[in-house]
Structure 1
Amino acid sequence: MYMPGKFVDKHQAAIVVFEYIEVWYNRKRMHSALGFMSPEEFGRKLNEQNIAA
């Protein structure tokens, strides 16, 4: 997808940055406020607890 220094234009760079922030950084990285779980993992565990309750 991304090769350093290989953006065709600013639009392509903006898309790559947006995907990185929204897809990886915000959803997959661990958050201290969530007990060092990713938001995806936290949501999955919360749903499991709600189903079990």
Structure 2
Amino acid sequence: KTELIKPRRPWKTLSDVELATAEYVDWYNHRRLHGETGHIPPVEYETNHYRETTKPQVTVTT
């Protein structure tokens, strides 16, 4: 991500860039709070979404 890579250059090694990118992606997908999703991390929002949309249907027989 540009917002990570450009401000912190020059990078010493490619491994440093790869590790920083992996850490950023982990934060972005799992820990950042997102206003459009009720200020919860995206992974939590996605988990809640799938939990709600995959609930078993209740069938009533008479």
Structure 2 equivalent of residue 16 of structure 1: 19
Question: Which stretch of structure 1 is more off in the superposition, 13-22 or 37-46?
Answer: 13-22
Give the TM-score normalised by structure 2. 0.60
Size of the aligned set, in residue pairs, is 44
Aligned counterparts, 1:1-53, within 5 A: 9-24=12-27, 26-28=28-30, 29-52=32-55
Cα RMSD (Å): 1.5
Higher helix proportion (structure 1 or 2): 1
Q: Which runs of 5 or more residues in structure 2 are unaligned?
A: 1-11, 58-62
Instruction: Write the deviation string for residues 2-51 of structure 1: whole angstroms up to 9, x where unpaired.
Output: xxxxxxx4202211221121112x11211111111111100000001101
